Structure 1
Amino acid sequence: MPKVGVEQSLSNISEALRQKGFDVIDLRKEADAKDCDCCVVSGLDSNVMGMHEVVTAGSVIEANGLSADEVCQQVEEKTSHQ
């Protein structure tokens, strides 16, 4: 089962992914994303400095402006979960 990390502020997306059978992890700190196949972030905490540390090899989906269904569709495509 694909493990998807979702920012805590995106509870509607977490619930939609759980209903579709994904193992959803609440992202409270960077280390929570370590073993995730995919992460969903709000996009509100933009990295202005351009500095980053790679925490996960999985895909990152920015949910800003997307519905829960659209995010679920992207997660399914990225994880090949049908």
Structure 2
Amino acid sequence: MEQEIHIAGIVVYTQPAQLESIKSCIAEVPYAEVHAQDAHGKLVVTLETEGTKRTLDTMDAIRALPGVLDTVLVYQHAEPASALAQEIL
């Protein structure tokens, strides 16, 4: 069975005073990237994982960080890893 790649978009709700430290922690997570933030403590993050379980485990780890109020899955897409290597015409 071919390996799948799962791409998830999540919103991380934080206490505004801890936004920068949470961003630093998320930056340490492999294949996690913060794309946007606002002054109220919201972060838009993407995760690339090898499966749904790993996505949920990563979300739980982020949710457990001090100052994180919640994480919400907004989008998830899965496809075979080989599809990412195909040229788009």
TM-score, reference length from structure 2: 0.27
Name the structure with the higher strand share.
2
Larger radius of gyration: 2
Bigger relative contact order (CA 8 A; separation at least 6): 2
TM-score, reference length from structure 1: 0.28
